Chain A
Amino acid sequence: MERKAFMSDMIRTELEDVVGVENVSAQDSERLAYGVDYFWIGRMWADRGNTPPMPDWIVRPASSEEVSRLLTIANYYRLPVQIWGGGSGSQGGALPMAGGVMLDMKRMDRLIEIDEVSRTITAEAGMIFQRLEWFANEKGYSCQHIPSCLTCGTIGGALAHRGIGIMSTRYGKIDDQCLSMEVVLPNGEIIYTLPVPKHAAGPDLNQIFIGSEGTLGVITKATFKLFEQPETRQFRAFLFPDMHSGFMAGRDIMQKLKPSILRFFDEAETMSIIRSILGFEKQGCFMNLALEGIGRIVDIEMELVLDICRRWGGEDLGSEYGEKWYKNRITFFYPGHIMDIPQMFGTMDTVATYQNIEEIYWAMKHAVEDNFPGVRFIAHCSHWYEWGTMIYDRFIMDHPPQDPEEAIRLHNQIWNAGVRAAMAHGGVINDHHGIGLKLGRLMKEQYGPAMQVMQGLKKSLDPNGIMNPYKLGL
C-alpha cells in the first residue's frame, strides 16, 4: 500500500507518541547508518558509492511495553519492521530491505538481575554482549559466551541468529546458554518462555524464537546461565599431518572430555592466517585447545588429550601457541587483519556428523576452488560435539568484479555452490551466523517439506508479514 502526501507524517506522530520525539528519526544521515551491516554485499554496495537500503523511520524503544505498542501500530499500517542490535551480523539479517520501521534496540540495555543463588543473569536484549559479560565478571562469574563479535553485537542479536562463542565446546551455544526470554509477538502481546532449567510442558518456546531472526517477534529480555570462573585454563597446540587425523583426534577427545576451546585448521589456513598471527611456520594442520576447570582434573584431562593426539600422529607443540592464539583471538577481526573490501569474501560455516564432515570439507573446497578461478578456500573447525563438528569455511577473492551487479551475481553463485555442496554431503546451510538475507533462498532446499513448520509459525504469528521481510526465507 502506497503512502501518499502527509501520511508518513501522520504515522511518525504515532511512533513519536510511543517513544518520544527524540527517539524517532527520519534524518537521512541517521538512516544511512542502518543500511550497512557486516554483510559483504551491503559493504561493497556502499563502498562503490551506492545508496544503502534505508528504513523510513528509526525508532528507539526503551521498554517491552513500547515495543508492544510500536508493533501494534506497524501491524495496523502494515509497516515492515526490522530490528537492529549491534548491526554486526554477516548475513544481512537486519538490513531494511523493505524500508519501514527500524527498531534500534540499544536503549533497552539495562541489567535486570543477577541471581547468585541460581547462577543466572537477566538483562534487556539491547545490551551489547560484552557489557553483560562485564556485569557477570564484576561478580566473579562469566556467561562464557565469548564470540569474536562479543563487543559488537547485542544480546538480542546473538539470540536472533543463534550465535556461538569460542568457548562453546564446553559451555554450549547461545541456545544452550539462554534459559528464558521475554518476547513481544508481532501482534503486540508480551510473552515469556518458561523460566526453568528443563521441562516437559510441550515444545521449548525458547527454541522457536532463538534463531528466528526477527521474523516472529522481538526478543526483549533474556536470562542466561552464569558459570564460575575456571580455576585454571591450560592450552596445548598440535600439528596433524592431514585433516583426517585431526578430525579423528577431535572426535576421540570429545568422546571423553569437554575442552572449552578446540580449533583445528586446514593446511591453507595454517599456512596463511595462523602463520601471520602466531608466527607458526610448519606445514600441516594446526590444532589448539584449552582445558579448564579444577586444576587437578585438568592435569589428568591433559594427559588423556596428549595420548589421543599422539595416537593420531599429532605433534605436540606445547602450550605457547595456544596461549598466543588466545591472546590474539580478537586481533584476527580488526581492520588490517581480517578480510576487507576490495576483497570479496564469505564464511560458509556448516556443521555435520564425524561420518560426513571430512567429505563436506573436500566437497566445498572443490566446489569453490574448481569452479571460481581466483578464489581461495580456507577452513577451520572451532565448535565440536560428541558426534560431529562444524567447519568455518571461508572463500576469498582478491580481485572481484568492479561492477556491483556483476559482483553480487558472482558472490551469490559462489555461495550457492559452496552451501549446496555442504548440503549435498550431509551438512547444513549454516552453523552459527544465521540465514538473513544472504541465504534465505536456500532455506527451502535445506528443509524440504519441513519448511512448512516454519512457514506455519510465521503465518500464525505474523499474518501481515511485517516482521523482517525477505529474511530467513520466510
Chain B
Amino acid sequence: MFTEKAKKHADACRFCWMCRHLCPVQLATGKETNTPRAKGLLVSMFNRGLPMDEGAARIMYECLLCGACTDDCVTGFEPPLFIREARMKAVAEGVAPAYATKLIDTLVETGNLYGAKEVRAHLDGVPETGDTLVWLGATARYSTPEVADALLSILKKAGVDFAVLKDEPPSGGALGDLTGYIEDVRVQARQAAEAIARTGARRLIVLDSYDAALFLHEYRDWGVTLPETVTATAFVDGLIREGKLTPRKEALTVTYHDGSRLARDLDEHRPARDILAAMGCAVVEMFQNRRLARCCGSAVMGRALPQLHARIARGRWEDAQRTGANVLVAACPQSTEALAATVPQGYTYQDLFVMLDGRV
C-alpha cells in the first residue's frame, strides 16, 4: 500500500546513515530503530513481504516528522514521507499503538488532540468575520492559551482589526501526523478552508507554525485555497517595522529556539530574531540553529508519548544551556508546550509573543 515514491525513498534511506546525528528522537533514546535508516529498512522489508506487526508500528510512531533528516539529505530523500505512509498502513491494518488509536478517536470526537470542548484562550468580544483572520491552532487554544492571548493583545495594541473563529475547526495537521495523509485529512483541510472563507478574510495570520506549514505547503498541493497566509512572527515583525508597535527595550541575553516548521518547512529565521532585537535582547545562538535546529517536541508526540516528549525537550534545553544564556525563547505554541514543561533549575522559558506583549 506504499506509493511508488515512498518505496523509492525507503529503498534509498535503508542503506544510508548520513542524517542520524540530527534525529531528536534518536538522540533522546539512543535506539537504532529511532533512526531514519532503520525506519527505511523496515519499510523496505514491508515492501518485500515482511508483515507489519505492532512492534514495527510502534517504531513508526516514534518520530516527530520534524524534517531534520529531509533537510540534511543532499539528494532530497524524505523519511517522513514513508513514515507517514507506514502509519497509514498501521492504522489500516489495525496494528497502530493503542495511544495513537485513542488520539485519533479523540481527534474525530472533539476536533483536537486535547479532547477539549471549551477554548481556553480569551476570545470574548473578538469578531468572527473580517478582513484579517487569526488562526490560533489547537495548542494555543487549549494548552497554551497565554500565547494566543498575547498575540491577540499585541494585535489590538497595534490597531489591527482581526477576527478569530470561536469554533476553529481542525486543520488536518494532527490527523495527518497520526494517520498519514488519508482522505479524511483532506476533508478536514477543505472544511477548515471553507470555515476560513466564510469569515470573509482576505488575510490569514497563523500562530501555530505546524498549521502555517500545512497551509502553505500541503493545502496548496491538495488544491485547497486560502487567503493570503502569513505566519504570526512575520506579521508582528512587520508591525514593528512599520512603526505600529514600538517595544520597550530591556537588555537581556537570550537564546532562541527555531521551531522545525518555521525554520525548515517555511525557511523563516529572521522575524523572531528581529522582534527580539527590537526588544533589546541579545541573542546567543545555539550551535544547532535555524535549519539545523533540533526539534523540541510536538503536540502529537506530547499526547502520544509524553515521557519521550519530555526527554526530547530536555535535549533541546541542553543545547540552550551550553550557550550561557539562561533565558530560552521560542515562537510556536507547540514549542512553548514542550519547553515550558521542562525548564531546568536556574533557567527561564519565554514565549516570544508573551514576552513582546509585556513590552508594548
Contact = CB atoms under 8 A, between A and B. Distances in A.
Nearest to A137: B287
Contact of A34 (B15, B17, B32, B49): B32
Interface stretch (A179-187, A282-290, A312-320, A326-334): A326-334
Contact of A109 (B30, B37, B44, B74): B30
B345 interface: no
Interface stretch (B20-28, B145-153, B228-236): B20-28
B61 to A, nearest CB: 12
A131 B55 CA distance: 29
Interface string B277-306: 000000000011000000000000000000
A32 B55 CA distance: 11
Contact of B27 (A29, A49, A108, A109): A109
A151 B18 CA distance: 6
A341 B32 CA distance: 22
A130 B21 contact: yes
Contacts of B32: 30, 33-34, 58, 84, 87, 104, 106
B129 interface: no
A46 B14 CA distance: 10
A34 B42 CA distance: 11
Given A46-B45, A104-B32, A335 B21 contact: no
A34 B31 CA distance: 11
A32 B322 contact: no
A126 B30 contact: yes
Contact of B20 (A60, A86, A340): A86
A49 B12 contact: no
Given A27-B55, A109-B27, A337 B48 contact: no
A128 to B, nearest CB: 4
B59 interface: yes
B56 interface: yes
A312 to B, nearest CB: 34
A470 interface: no
A49 B48 contact: yes
Contacts of A106: 26, 30-32
Contact of B16 (A28, A137, A335): A335
Interface in B132-190: none
Interface residues of B, number: 39
Residue of A33, A46, A130, A137 with highest tally of chain B CB at under 10 A:
A33
Contacts of B20: 86, 128, 151-152
A425 interface: no
Contacts of A128: 20-21
Given A106-B30, A334-B18, A33 B55 contact: no
B15 A107 contact: no
B250 interface: no
B41 A333 contact: no
Contacts of A49: 48-49
B77 interface: yes
A138 B322 contact: yes
A60 B29 CA distance: 9
B30 A138 contact: no
Interface in A277-307: none
A134 interface: yes
B33 interface: yes
B3 interface: no
B53 interface: yes
A335 B33 contact: no
Contact of B55 (A28, A88, A130): A28
A340 to B, nearest CB: 6
Contacts of B59: 29-30
A414 interface: no
A335 B13 contact: yes
B74 A330 contact: yes
B30 A33 contact: no
Contacts of A84: 32
B75 A38 contact: no
A134 B288 CA distance: 9
A341 B75 contact: no
Nearest to B34: A106
A29 B53 contact: yes
Contacts of B18: 151-152, 330, 333-334
A21 to B, nearest CB: 14
Given A128-B21, A151-B19, A341-B15, A336 B31 contact: no
B163 to A, nearest CB: 45
A376 interface: no
B73 interface: yes
Residue of B45, B75, B288 with highest tally of chain A CB at under 10 A:
B45
B38 interface: yes
Nearest to B53: A29
Interface in A116-141: 126, 128, 130-131, 134, 137-138
> Would you list the 4 A-B pairs with minimal beta carbon distance, nearest first?
A152-B17, A106-B30, A107-B30, A29-B56
16 contacts: A29-B33, A29-B55, A30-B31, A30-B33, A33-B42, A47-B44, A60-B31, A104-B30, A105-B30, A128-B20, A138-B322, A151-B17, A151-B21, A333-B18, A334-B75, A337-B74
Interface of A: 27-30, 32-34, 36, 38, 43, 46-47, 49, 58, 60, 84, 86-88, 104-109, 126, 128, 130-131, 134, 137-138, 149, 151-153, 330-331, 333-337, 340-341
Interface of B: 12-22, 26-27, 29-33, 37-38, 41-42, 44-45, 48-50, 53, 55-56, 59, 72-75, 77, 287-288, 322
